[in-house]
């Protein structure tokens, strides 16, 4: 049995824990439901760090560039 880190989002409430792989389709990282942005309940399956890391490298790049811009602006 493989345990995964799972992050549950229910409206504004977020909780994290470990779960059996049954909750994680295809045994891959990702958030579900994938295509329903209006879903009130959503869960993310991750292999590590309780799903705290950013899922998008583009977001990290944007945040880094924004920080550098703000540093030079001030």
What string of pLDDT tens digits covers the 74 residues of the chain? 466 777 878 878 888 877 665 667 666 677 777 666 666 777 788 876 667 665 555 555 666 777 777 787 76
Two tokens, residue 31: 């958030």
pLDDT of residue 27: 62
Pairing of strands 3-10, 41-46: antiparallel
| Residues forming a β-bridge with 13 | 10
Residue 64: give the domain boundaries: 3-73
Question: Phi/psi of residue 36, each to 5°?
Answer: -105, 95
pLDDT for res 60: 59
pLDDT of residue 23: 62
Beta carbons of 54 and 29 less than 8 angstroms apart: no
Give how many domains the chain has, as a whole number.
Answer: 1
Amino acid 14: pLDDT? 83
Q: What are phi and psi of 3, to 5 degrees?
A: -95, 145
Query: What whole-number distance in Å separates Cα of residue 62 and Cα of residue 60?
Result: 5
């Amino acid at each position: 049995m493989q345990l995964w880190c799972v992050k549950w989002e229910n409206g504004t409430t977020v909780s994290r824990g470990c779960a059996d792989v049954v909750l994680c389709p295809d045994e891959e990282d990702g958030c579900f439901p994938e295509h329903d942005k209006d879903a009130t309940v959503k869960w993310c399956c991750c292999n590590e760090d309780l799903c705290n890391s950013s899922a998008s490298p583009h977001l990290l790049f944007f945040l880094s560039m924004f920080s550098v811009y703000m540093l030079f602006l001030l």
